[in-house]
Structure 1
Amino acid sequence: MSDTRRVLFWRHGRTAWNVENRFQGQTDIELDKVGHAQAERAGRLLATMGPDLIVASDLKRAADTAGYLGRVTGMPIEFDKGLRERFGGSWEGFTGKELAERWPERHPRMDIPDGEPIGDVGDRMYAAIHRALSRTPEGGLLVVVSHGAALRVGISRLLGIPDEQREILGPLSNCCWSVLQQRRDRWRLMEHNAASLPEPVVLSDDA
């Protein structure tokens, strides 16, 4: 059986708000100096995997991260607003400590009173991923560059994990990635929160 498609979900590099533990949401924060260095290093590594298509959120921190991979590979970056981070409403810009003080009951559940419902995030992420997959060849690699919360719910959707159980997956660190591989009609998680190239795995027919 030939190799099947893979999707690599790549979180953007570090920003100043990441350092300050501020809720970014769809506020268009740029990468900081460390974030640019992270993206440059990761871009060189990921280029060796031979991506067939690169799609990214149009928010600057994700777009600039994707740009490092695009420059190494010579491939264009396609932007899709469906890959943006969850809209955080009035929470955007506050630190985790401030959110816990202002919304002590809502904060542990990430229940944003005027924010985007997580189900809506999952719907648009799932749709954006499938738009890109429709242009990814059999045996090919799709790279999706996005944001921490959006990526986790997108990965969960592909794996068939209910949105409310998405925290089964640990968070993605800045500029780290996860890899899913399609096998028959299902997706499997092969790497999560990785910062090094995946090791090849020899699979048996029933693995």
Structure 2
Amino acid sequence: MTETAETRRILCWRHGQTAWNAEKRFQGQTDIPLNERGLAQAERAAGLLARLRPDAIVSSDLSRAATTAGFLARATGLRVELDKGLRERFGGRWEGLTTPEIRERWPEENARMEIPDGEDILAVGERVQEAVLRALPRVPEGGLLVVVGHGAALRAGINRMIGLPPEIRQALGPIGNCAWSVLGPHGGGWRLLEHNATSLPETHPLSDDR
């Protein structure tokens, strides 16, 4: 990619709330559906994001992400492409446990967010980046790709794409349910234009690459 050739943007959108989100349980790749609040969040956010006129939508195949993506598909008339590479980080024995339970049983690992029998976070970032780059050719120059996925996986992918060193990966804060972050081209790579947003500012970064 060169700075002159790449003009597309990438909007990374986290799924709506699930029952496990509300209970603060580690979801990982367990396929938990949206709850009533999550469905309402997805419908509201889709109405906003449709105003950005995205050119393509790619989503994790886990139902909480695919259902979220479906609201935007209906609002725009676009088709959702599913990609397993956008799945959440595999959490091993942590999946289904609450934050206090994980903290009590694996205090050191939890502090480092290193899941004993789970997926390495750097590997997650790599596969998410690969999935994004697979979908990007579907978008014309100057267009917008919407990537629908999961909190930890999307953050890992963003870290990878903007080149944030692993030792300071936590400098990028979490993405809330149905919030989004925007990446734009910069210097032959990518930069973060917006993070953990839930509304459209009056002057949106999608309209200005300076």
Normalising TM by the smaller chain, what interval? over 0.9
* Residue in 1 that maps onto 2:177: 174
Q: CA distance change for structure 1 residues 145 and 49 in 2, over 3 Å: closer, same or farther?
A: same
Number of equivalenced pairs = 205
Residue 134 of structure 1 aligns to a residue whose secondary structure is: helix
CA distance in 1, matches of 2:126, 2:43: 31
Deviates more, 1:138-147 or 1:191-200: 191-200
SS of the residue corresponding to residue 188 of structure 1 reads strand
**2: CA distance, partners of 1:6 / 1:88:** 30
Q: Would the aligned equivalents of 1:122 and 1:150 in 2 still touch at CA under 8 Å?
A: yes
3-state DSSP class of the match of 2:116?
Answer: coil
Sequence identity of aligned pairs in percent?
A: 62
2:124 maps to amino acid: V
1:191-202 matches, within 5 Å, as 191-198=194-201, 199-200=203-204
Which consecutive unaligned segments of at least 5 residues does structure 2 have? none
How large is the Cα RMSD of the aligned pairs? 1.7
1:152-184 alpha-carbon deviations (Å, 9 max, x no partner): 010111101123422111100000000111134
Alignment partner of 1:105 is 2:108? yes
Taking the aligned partners of 2:126 and 2:85, their CA distance within structure 1 comes to: 9
**Partner of residue 88, structure 1:** 91
Note the alpha carbon deviations across 1:65-111, whole angstroms, 9 max, x for none.
00000001011000000000000001000000000111111111111
Q: Which amino acid aligns with 2:163?
A: G
Of Structure 1 and Structure 2, the greater helix share is in: 2
4+ runs deviating over 4 angstroms:
201-204
Residue number in structure 2 paired with 1:17:
20
- Give me the TM-score of the superposition, normalised by structure 1: 0.94
Flag structure 1 segments of 5+ consecutive residues without an equivalent.
none
Show CA shifts across 1:38-76 (max 9, x none).
000000110010101100000000000000000010110
The farther-off stretch of 193-202 and 164-173 is: 193-202
